[in-house]
Amino acid sequence: MQPDYQAEVHDHGTIRIALATPSGQENQRLNDRVQLKIEKHKELSISGRNLRMRFSWSKGYSGEWLAASAWGDVQLYRRPLGLIFIVEAKRQEDADKGIEEYIVKDLQLFYITEILHIALRKELNASVYDGRCLLVGSKSSQQLKPDILHFPSVDAWKTSWKDIEDLVTSIYYILESKRVERSSMSSSNSDKSYPMLMAPFERREGNIDFDSRSFRKKLQGRLRKHIGDLCLLCGLPQEALIAYHSALDALRLSQDHLWVAASLESLCAVTASYSSVVKSDHCLESPNDIFEKYREAVINYSKFKEAGVLELEACLKATKVLVDMGRNLDASDFLQNTIYIGIKLPSEREIERLSTLADLYGIIGFKRKEAFYKRVAAMYCVADQNNSEARWQQCFSLLRESLPGFSLEHVLSFIKSSEYETDLFLSSGESTGWPAVQARVLHELAFSARKIGDTKLAIKLLSGLLHSSHSFLNKSEQEEMLQALKNYSSACREESEILSEPICLPSFVNVAIPTGNGDPNLEPIETNAQQTNRVFIYSPFEKNLKKIRWVKSEVNTIELVFYNPLAAEIDVSHISLVAKGDASPVNVKPQSLRLAPGAHVSVKIDCICEIVGEFEITGYRVDLYGLIYEVHFDRLLKKRKEINILKSYKIEVIDTIPMLAVDMFLAGFPKAQNIVREVQENQMVKYKSAFYDGEHQKISITIENVSQIPIGEIEVYQEVGVDSKCVVKFSCENPPSSLKPGERVMFEAFFDSELKDSKIETVLHYIKINYKEAYDVGYMRTHTTIFESDIIRPLDVIGLCVKQSESSEYATIVLECHNKAIEEIDIIQTVPNLNGASSAKSTVVRNGHASVLYVQIEKLEHIPLSEQCMETALGLKWRCEPGRFGVVHLSSTTLNTNELIALQASPLYWESEIDDEPLEEIVKNGKVMQPMFVRTTAINRTNEPFQDLKITLEAVQEDSRGEFNVLGGAIMSTGLDKALTPVLESKSSIEFSHTMIPRFPGNFKIRFRAYVADKGSSLKSFVSPSYSFCISHSSTAF
C-alpha cells in the first residue's frame, strides 16, 4: 500500500466510493467532468445522519483503493464500499462491452472483471456493498437494469444528486445493519462466532494461539474497534467514541500495539472532527491530550515496519490537526518524524512526499524548510535527465514555489507578469538570505525554464541572477553564465521584452549632458537675461543648476559612463536614451559597447533635435543579451544613493543661431620659439608661449561664418586672469562687424607684455569674440581662445642713476643693462640732434654680458615721478632675432631723492646773466682774481604761489668721486649770499645778484638753487641749469 499524502483527519468518517472505467477507455476529459459533477455531493443527510463521501480512482496517487482495501480490518475507511463504473459509448458495441464488464452477482454485490485482477475479486466481494454503472453516449442493445444509468452526455445527467443519494443510502443501510449485528455480538460476548480481524501481514504469519486469554482480549478489542469504525461511517460519532475507549481498554491489556495505535488515532480523529457536536466525557479535553494520544499512536505504529504507511499518514494528520489548534511547534515534531520513516517509493511518489512535506512546513510557518523540500522535489523530477519523460514543467513549478523561502519572493511577481514595462526581480533594499544559495536556485530555475521552452524567461532569470548575485560568483561561473546568456539570446526568436528597473550590469557611473556639444564656444548665451526680483541675493534653498540649451539641427552629444564589476567581459549591443517631451531628439545614434573586466568606459550618444521646445532625459536604454532594460534615473537613485545624478535632465531647444570658426596664428613666433597649440577636453584651443618683458607681438585672427545665418554683430576683446603680477595688453586693428554665411575674414591684433618684477610669471589671458545675428533673437555665442604666457625679463637694468645736466630742459641717465637671454639683444635709443631732429643709436649687448648706456632725456614734468613717464621719456627699445622686438622697462624705485629731483623739470624759469651778458650752455672763460658779476631772475611758472622762497648760489668742481663745493675757497664771493621773499605769486619773479672772484685757475660750474617751504617743516629745492667756467692765469696763458 502506498501512502496517501492528502490524508485528512476527516477521512476516518468518510465513505469511500471507487471510480473505475472499462479497459482501454482513456477519455480523461470525460472522467474529469463526471468527477466534477459527483464531487458536489460529498455530504448527504440520510435518515437524519450527516454522511461524508470520498470519491477516488482505482489508479493514481489519491486513493490506491485496491491495495488499501486489504487494511480495511484495521481502519474501515480505507476500504471502498461503493463503485461508480463510467462507460463511454461512441457506438452501440461500446455500450454492450462496457455493460458486460459490469456484472451482477449473488447478494447484490458487484465486481469487475478484466480491469481488476482475479486475486482481488474475493476481497472486492467483501468490500464493495453497492454500485452504479454510468453509461454515457450510445444506448446498449441490452435491457438496462436499475443500477445501470444511461445518459447521452454528462450534461444530460440532471439526476446526479438523486442517483448518488440512492447509492449512498444503499451503502448506509448495509453499514447500519452490520453495525447493529456487530454491536449485538459484542454485547453478548459471542466473540468466538466472529472471525479475527487482522492486518495483511498478520494473515501471512499464521502462528496465532486461538485459545489463549490474550487472543480473546485481542478479538474483543479489535471487534470493538471495528464497531467504532462502523459507528463513525454511519454518522454516530458519540457511539464511536465509546467504542474506541472500550477497545483501548481491552487492546492495552493484550498489548496489541498496532490496534492500540489505530484506536488512538481514531479517537483523536473523532475529537478533532466532531468536537462541536459530541457532548461526552469520552472526548479528549485539550490540544495537549490530542498531542499525547497522537504521539502514543505513532510510537505504537513504529513498532511494525509493515505499518509504515499508517505511521506516515498518522503524522500527517496530527500535523494538520495541531496546526489548526495553533500548536505549530508540536506539529513540526510530527512532520520531522515522517522524514525518518523508511518507505521505499518510486520517484514520482517521492516527489509527492517531498511536496507534501514542503506544503505542511509552509503551513506551520517554516518557510526555509518549505523551500528546501520543494527544491529537492524539483531535483527528483529531473533526476534522470536522459529520460524523455523528465518532468521539467513540474520542476520549474516547484522551484518557482520555493522562491519565497529563499527570500526571493520578488521573483514571483516578475515571472507572473506578462506585460512589458515590468519590474525586474532585483530587490531595492539590501539582500537577505544566503546569496550563494539564492544564486544557485535562480540558476536552476533559469535552466528549467529553458528546458520547458520558455527561452525568454530563462534569459530574464539568468540576467537577473547575474545582476543581483554576480559578486558571489567566481570568474568561471560568471563566464559560464555570460556564455549561456549568449546562447539563449541567439536561440530566442521572440521580440525582446522591455524591462524597467535599475540594473547592475553594466554598472552606471555618471552622465554628462553638455551644452553646445561639449564645446563652450558653441554654448548659447542669453543676451537679455531677466533678473528675478527678490529680497535676498542668496537663498540656501535655491538650487543653482545650469540650464542646458541645445540648438535646433545641431549635433549634441550625451556621455554615459559605465563600469564592469565582473571578472569577465560584457558585450552590450545597444545603448540609447529615454526621453519625453515634444522636442525629444528625432535622430539618436545608438552605440554598442564592450567592457573589459573591471574597466570604466564612456559612451557618447549623438542627438539632433528638429523641434523648438523642451524635453527631458529621464534615463537610458540598454540591450543586454536579448533583454532591453529601460533604466530611469529616479529609480536608479533609490537603489544607488552614492551616485551624484539628477532624477531627470531638462533640456531647452532653441532656434538656430550663427556659428563661427576661429583660427589664430602668432605671426612673429616660428616653431623654434616652442609655441604649443593644445585642444583641451572641452574642445577649447589653448596656446602656450613665452613673451619677453615689453615685447610687442602680432597675432593673425581668421574668422569664418560656417552657418547659414548672417552675423550682424562681432566684438573682440581680452580678459586677463585675476591676481596676475604681469600685464598683457591687447589691441585689435579693424575687426569685421558682420559676416555673411560662408564669408571668411582675417585681421590683426597685438599683444604688449609687461612684467612687474624680475621673476618669471605666467599669465592666463583669453581672447574672446562675441557674435550674434543682426536682429536680437535673445541669444549669442562667445568664442574663447586661451593663452598661457610666460613673461620673462631678458634685460636686467642695474646701476641706474641720474647725472646733472648743464641744461634746464635735459637730464642724463646712466644705466647698465645685463643680457639674460640666449641671444644677442640690440638696445636702441633715440638721440636728439642740434637741428631738432633725432637719430637712432644701437648698442649690442651679448648674451651673458652687460653694457653701460648714457641716455639724455628731457626733464619730466610729472610730480611725483612714475615708471611709465620715465620709460616714455627714455624711449629705449630692444630687438633680437628672429624678428622679436619691444620696449625696455625701467624702475624708478632704484633712484634716490636727489636723483628724482634732478630728473624732474623745475617749476621756476631761470634767466641768468654774467657781466650783463646772457648765460648759455657754453663754457665761459675768465681769469684769476678777475671779478665776475652774475645775476639770475627766477619766474614762478606754476599756477600756485610759493611760500618763503630763498635763492642761493652754488659753485662746484667734479672729480671721479663726484661733486664738491668750492664757493668760499677756490671761489671768493662778495655781496649778498641769498635772496628772500615771503611769497612768490604765480607768474611773478625774484632777482638775485652776486659777485665772485676765482682765486685759482681751473674748471668749475655754478648754479642757482631755490628753496621753497613745503607742507610742515620740510623744504623743497629746485636748481637752475649748470653753467661751466674755465679760469686761466695770465702767466700760464699760451
Query: Per-residue pLDDT tens for 684-708?
Result: 888 888 888 888 888 899 999 999 9
> Smallest Cα–Cα separation from 511: which of 632, 355, 350?
632
C-alpha cell at 797: 637694468
Residues 76-108: b if buried by 16+ CB within 10 A, e if exposed: bbbbbbbbbbbbbbeeeebbbbbbebbeeeeee
User: Which region, left, alpha or beta, applies to residue 480 given φ > 0 means left and ψ of -120 to 50 means alpha?
Assistant: alpha
Summarised one tens digit per residue, pLDDT across range 901-931 is 667 777 888 888 988 888 876 778 888 888 9
Cell 495541531 locates to: 322
What domains lie within the chain, and their CATH numbers? 9-178 (3.40.50), 417-497 (no CATH), 502-529+543-654 (2.60.40.10), 660-792 (2.60.40.10), 795-901 (2.60.40), 907-1036 (2.60.40.10)
Exposure string of 505-541, with b = 16+ CB inside 10 Å and e = fewer, is bbbbeebebbbbbbebbbbbbeeeeeeeeeeeeeeee
Cell numbers found for residue 364: 506551520
Rounded Cα gap, residues 405 and 767, in angstroms: 69
Contact 964, 954 (CB under 8 A): no
> Under 8 Å CB-to-CB from 155, ≥6 apart: which residues?
none
| Confidence label for 188 from pLDDT (cuts 50, 70 and 90) | low
Confidence at residue 329, expressed as pLDDT on a 0 to 100 scale: 93
- 355, 395, 408, 508, 847 from 404: Cα distances, Å: 15, 16, 5, 29, 87
Write the DSSP assignment of 392-448 as a string of letters: HHHHHHHHHHHGGGGT-THHHHHHH--SSSBPPS--SS---S-HHHHHHHHHHHHHH
Q: What is the pLDDT of residues 43-94, one digit of tens each?
A: 888 888 888 888 877 653 334 566 678 888 999 998 888 888 888 888 888 8
Q: What percent of the chain has pLDDT over 90?
A: 23
205 SS3 class: helix
**Side chain identity at residue 760, one-letter code:** I
Buried b (16+ CB within 10 A) or exposed e, 813-844: bebebebebeeebebbbeeeeeeeeeeeeeee
- Measuring CA to CA, which residue among 117, 113, 108 is closest to residue 167? 108
Name the band, by pLDDT with cuts 50, 70 and 90, for residue 1018.
Answer: confident
pLDDT one-digit tens code per residue, 100-148: 777 543 223 333 333 333 433 444 556 788 888 899 988 887 778 888 8
What are the cell numbers at 665? 596664428
pLDDT, average across residues 524-541: 60
Tally DSSP H helices, then E strands, for the chain: 22, 48
Find the helix packing angle between 237-253 and 257-274, rounded to 10°. 160
pLDDT for residue 109: 36
Please compute the mean of the pLDDT values over residues 892-897 and round it to a whole number: 62
* Residue type (1 letter), 962: G
Contacts of 792 (CB under 8 A, 6+ apart): 690, 691, 692, 693, 755, 760, 821
Instruction: Extract the C-alpha cell encoding 647.
Output: 532624477
* Cβ 73 vs Cβ 15: under 8 Å: no
d(CA 854, CA 829): 10
CA angle 601/603/605 to nearest 5° reads 175
For the chain, give the number of residues: 1038
User: Half-sphere exposure of 135 toward its Cβ, with a 13 Å CA cutoff?
Assistant: 27
List the 825-832 sheet strands across, edge first: 838-845, 825-832, 877-880, 884-887
What do you get for the CA distance between the two ends of the chain, in Å?
A: 166
Rounded Cα distance, 808 and 921, in Å: 9
**Residue at 500: amino acid letter:** S
Neighbours of 592 (CB within 10 A): 11
Express each pLDDT in 923-982 by its tens digit.
788 888 889 899 999 999 888 898 888 999 988 888 767 788 888 888 888 888 889 999
Please state which of the ranges 489-503, 620-634, 723-737 shows the lowest mean pLDDT: 489-503
Q: Which amino acid makes up residue 786?
A: I
CA distance 467 to 461: 10
Give every strand in the sheet of 660-666, ordered side by side. Answer: 660-666, 696-705, 744-755, 726-733
Inter-CA distances, 178 with 11, 171, 227, 882, Å: 20, 11, 9, 134
Write out the DSSP string of 354-369: HHHHHHHHHHTT-HHH
pLDDT tens for each residue of 303-358: 999 999 999 999 999 999 999 999 999 999 999 999 889 888 888 888 989 999 99
Angstrom distance (rounded) from CA 23 to CA 58: 12
Of the pLDDT bands very low, low, confident and very high (cuts 50, 70, 90), residue 96 is: confident
Cross-strand pairs, 557: 606
1031 φ/ψ angles, rounded to the nearest 5 degrees: -105, 130
β-sheet bridge partners, residue 1027: 1006
Stated pTM of the model: 0.61
Helix axes 308-324, 287-301, angle to 10 degrees: 170
Q: Which residues have CB under 8 Å from 746's CB, separation 6+?
A: 700, 701, 702, 703
Task: Pick the range with the lowest mean pLDDT from 22-26, 387-391, 655-659, 863-867.
Answer: 863-867
Q: What is the β-pairing status of strands 978-984 and 946-959? A: antiparallel
In this structure, are residues 938 and 1008 in contact, taking their beta carbons and an 8 Å threshold? Answer: yes
Q: Is the peptide bond before 864 cis (omega within 30 degrees of 0)?
A: yes
pLDDT at residue 820 above 70? yes
pLDDT band at 789 (very low <50, low <70, confident <90, very high): confident
pLDDT tens-digit series, residues 578-619: 888 877 776 777 888 888 988 999 888 888 888 888 889 999
> What mean pLDDT comes out for the span 143-163?
88
18: cell is: 471507487
How far is it, in rounded angstroms, from Cα 975 to Cα 915? 15
Partners of 103 in beta bridges:
111
Between 518 and 157, whose confidence is greater?
A: 157
On the CB side of 840, CA atoms within 13 Å amount to 8
Which amino acid would we find at residue 54? R
List the 917-918 sheet strands across, edge first. Answer: 917-918, 908-914, 932-940, 989-998, 971-974
Here the cell at position 392 is 521539467
Instruction: With beta carbons less than 8 A apart as the criterion, state whether 1031 and 1000 touch.
Output: yes
Amino acid at 793: R
| 637, 470 contact by CB (below 8 A) | no
Separation CA 410–CA 428 (nearest Å): 10
